[in-house]
Amino acid sequence: MKNFKTPLNDLRFIHYEVLDSLSEYRKNPAYDEVNKELIDAIASECAKYAENVIFPLNQSGDEQGCSYNDGKVTTPDGYKAAYQQWLQGGWQGLSHPEEFGGQGLPPSLGIMKAEIVGTANWAFGMYPGLSLGAMNTLMLHADKAQKALYLAKLTSGEWMGTMCLTEAQCGSDLGQIKTKAEKNDDGSYTVTGTKIFISSGDHDLTDNIVHIVLARIPGSPEGTKGISLFIVPKYLPDENGAVGEFNQVNTGSIEKKMGIHASSTCVLNFDGAKGFLLGEVNKGVAAMFTFMNTARIGTAIQGIGSAELSFQNSLAYAKERRSMRPLSGAKEPEKVADTLIKHPDVRRMLLKQKAIAEGGRAMLYDTALLADKLSEAKDEAEFKAIDDKLGFLTPILKGFFTELGIEAANEGMQVFGGHGYIKEWGMEQIARDVRISSLYEGTTGIQGLDLLGRKVIQDKFKQYFAFNKRILALYKEILQSPYKVQMLRFIAPLMCYQLRWQKVLLVILFKARKNRDAVGASTHDFLMFSGYLATAFYFTKMALASFKALDQGGELSPDFYQAKLQTADFYFQRLLPRAKGHAAIISGKTASLMDMPEDNFQLE
């Protein structure tokens, strides 16, 4: 893997010309000092760190991996030094409150930082990334004493955090959790059990790790209604808040994984460790979703970042490698063959990767700006209203863009041909690393069930209708603009697919009246249709901004805006039509899935 440059121009375009982030920041008095100069400085400095410090460790870290000896985990060469530079730069606390040592900047700028770092080296970015989820959970659910004890160390990055959900017998079905927490006389709890697949569960980057653990208090109700959340540090803080005695959180092993070898994924044994209740008894799952939603947005970044990294390396290779001639004739007859980028099918793969990265980035930052508003909420009702909007977009963002990120990485390997399968070039690493993204924090099927079952049907269609209204508002804006004629090629198909989106939902509801399995049989396709439609919405917004910039003068070059319009054309003509296939599947008979007897699945 040879190439990575932060797409700073695209970041500026999305922030300033598409989403108008500055206007959003001005609505919050806490962000009144946020301006272009500050955003540009954060992006450029983070880009320097990502490009010069951690990207060079991406391939070497994958080859070396983490090691496990005598219960301790060691990260690859260079990681500790890179993490020290992370601390010195103050990157961990960028978007956290000043009272705990943070810089108090909008969470959306933290998302920008996470995208830059995650694209350069996903395995490295996972370590501080998991800690951010722990910090957000503590911010919302910890008491004052717990915040005082843990948040300053986590904000500085001196300590890290994790989330511990999964057990051998259960992943997404948290109701099966067996880890128990028995109350002690001093109000603490003794936590006993084993958690698996714990990202950043142990490492040598920090002196302490604060685990956020789901466990069941004996006598609690069965299922998810009887699960509580606990703070279980690897080392108990002493009376001064410094690292104290070992807390019997033992690392049993590290997982041997397909990818992200430089990220430690651990089996953790809580052998009578001391834990402290976080939030209310038996309300652990609801509290943990603070962490989960943070992680799901983070996971979407992996899909988007993988598409970007794959595109950059594919593009460089396609401009250099020579092979055959296009059917239309030689483009460089004086050379032995034409470069790959002259071939239509190679351009198809390059544009697909580019469209996935850019469409995902627009949706990512729109979602991030929505998350910023959570801190502005005046009361619980307003907080819930904002959180519901965020909750609708999150499964689409996570489920759709991890699936497309995997596809983009596979196309990157395809551009390289046989060289894509060889470790030297690094393309197979991108494909291996991103493959986990559609699995953790809930598989694509879980995201689809969450979207259709909880965020659409159980929500009584409130957020579904709200997103439809956003599309209608965009139609109105375009029709009142001087660019309505040029924009017709985008808004006409967008309107058709929006109407089809409404139709497929009605089909699902009608079929579900007779057969409840019709919902489960449609979740994946409804999610993917929603993803294609939502991305079309964001490309329409980007196209409108590009026409404005070309007409009125934008901050970037005319070639940038032309390329954006051409990428939007590609998306609408080559990717959006896939949604029709998902609609056709939804309209098909549920019986094709459910009528085959289990015995008929066998080969004998």
User: Catalytic amino acids?
Assistant: 441
CA dist 277 and 290 (Å) reads 16
Query: To which H or E segment does residue 270 belong?
Result: strand 265-277
Looking only at the bridges linking them, the beta strands covering 235-237 and 160-164 are: unpaired
8 A C-beta contact, residue 326 and residue 549: no
135 burial level (CB within 10 Å; 0-12, 13-18, 19+):
buried
8 A C-beta contact, residue 215 and residue 232: no
Torsional class of 130: left (φ above 0), alpha (ψ -120 to 50), beta (otherwise): alpha
Angle at 371 between CA 367 and CA 376, to 5 degrees: 140
8 A C-beta contact, residue 115 and residue 361: yes
DSSP labels, 219-265:
TPPSGGGGEEEEEEESEEE-TTSSEEEE-SEEEEEE---SS-TTS-E
The encoded tokens of residue 268 equal 């953790």
CA dist 132 and 298 (Å) reads 10
CA dist 167 and 174 (Å) reads 9
Number of residues written out for the chain: 604
Q: Which residues contact 204 (CB under 8 A, 6 or more apart)?
A: 72, 73, 74, 75, 80
Torsional class of 276: left (φ above 0), alpha (ψ -120 to 50), beta (otherwise): beta
Angle at 491 between CA 490 and CA 496, to 5 degrees: 105
The encoded tokens of residue 195 equal 């958690």
556 burial level (CB within 10 Å; 0-12, 13-18, 19+):
middle
Q: Which residues contact 110 (CB under 8 A, 6 or more apart)?
A: 94, 95, 132
